[in-house]
Amino acid sequence: MQITKRNVELRVDDSLMRVYVAAPKAAGVYPGIVFYSDIYQLGSPIIRLANYLAGYGYVVAAPEIFHRIEPVGLVIEPDDLGRMRGNDDARRTKIADYDADCLAVMEFLKTESAVSPGKIGTLGFCIGGHLAFRAAFQDEIKANVCCYPTGIPSGKLGQGIADTIHRVSEIKGEMLLVFGTLDPHIPEHDRQILIKALENANVPHKVLLYEAEHTFMRDDGYRYDSAAATSAWSEIVTFLERIFAN
């Protein structure tokens, strides 16, 4: 379906947070998705992914995750310098600030007339996958899609050590995890720790494994795998449709 695109501004702890919103053009009510980027923020590849999901009938709200540090609208280039910059921004951001941003985007979605009451999910990539996982601690989140989420077993996310792996029992919704088996940032050992934690907490979940590298769903890099990305998107859309069917 066709979509609309706009930017909104939210104030979180006196910092202006730009949120990119993509939504179906047709009048109606749709599930809302808190949509998290990787460390490069809202560049063209991430915007294309947000637009793609919106076209399936979702109000997608993607915040700039480093708004306390970077200027509004700043896109970090996905090169060596950009990687260093993004990782430094991540280390300088308080974990509590990430959580506050999540609540702000959720509250925004709940006030949107186009969002179905009680139908909110989350989706994220890389660090955004970790943030999407943490968002699942909120009772309102019904569906959680975490694409190659980094740093969950180790607690690497921002300032200090994130307690994410120790709070899995707080998750009330269902989880879909997408991994590349050739991804050095999330080795087999870390994947198993994460999966075991979900099993022990009786969190309904599904794990997708692709013979692909990190960020294989981002279409501007050498690690992009169109076949794996297409398959993953098919699974993601089916998962979300099932959760939000009623």
pLDDT digit string (tens) for 100-141?
999 999 999 999 999 999 999 999 999 999 999 999 999 999
Map residue 54 onto helix, strand or coil.
helix
Residue pair 56/142 in contact (Cβ under 8 Å)? The answer is no
Choose, from 67, 130, 205, 214, the residue flagged as catalytic.
214
Residue pair 148/38 in contact (Cβ under 8 Å)? The answer is no
The Cα angle at residue 96 between residues 180 and 83, in degrees rounded to 5: 45
Residue pair 131/95 in contact (Cβ under 8 Å)? The answer is no
| Rounded distance between C-alpha atoms, residue 229 and residue 219, angstroms | 9
Choose, from 183, 190, 205, 225, the residue flagged as catalytic.
183
189-219 per-position pLDDT tens digit: 999 999 999 999 999 999 999 999 999 999 9
- Which among 76, 82, 42 is positioned nearest to 62, based on CA atoms? 42
Q: Look up the pTM and report it.
A: 0.97
Map residue 47 onto helix, strand or coil.
helix
DSSP class per residue in 78-102: SSHHHHHHHHHHHHHSBHHHHHHHH
pLDDT level of residue 246 (50, 70, 90 thresholds)? confident
Average pLDDT, the chain: 97
pLDDT level of residue 98 (50, 70, 90 thresholds)? very high
Beta-carbon contacts of residue 30 (< 8 Å; ≥ 6 apart):
23, 24, 57, 58, 59, 114, 115, 116, 119
Catalytic status, residue 102: no
Q: Strand 59-63's sheet: what is its strand order?
A: 3-12, 15-24, 59-63, 30-36, 115-125, 141-147, 174-180, 205-210
Residue 148, pLDDT > 80, answer yes
18-67 per-position pLDDT tens digit: 999 999 999 999 999 999 999 999 999 999 999 999 999 999 999 999 99
Residue pair 170/147 in contact (Cβ under 8 Å)? The answer is no
Percent with pLDDT over 90 in the chain: 99
Catalytic status, residue 147: no
64-77 per-position pLDDT tens digit: 999 999 999 999 99
Residue 9, pLDDT > 90, answer yes
Q: Phi-psi bin for 148: left (phi > 0), alpha (psi -120 to 50), beta?
A: left
Choose, from 89, 97, 101, 126, the residue flagged as catalytic.
126
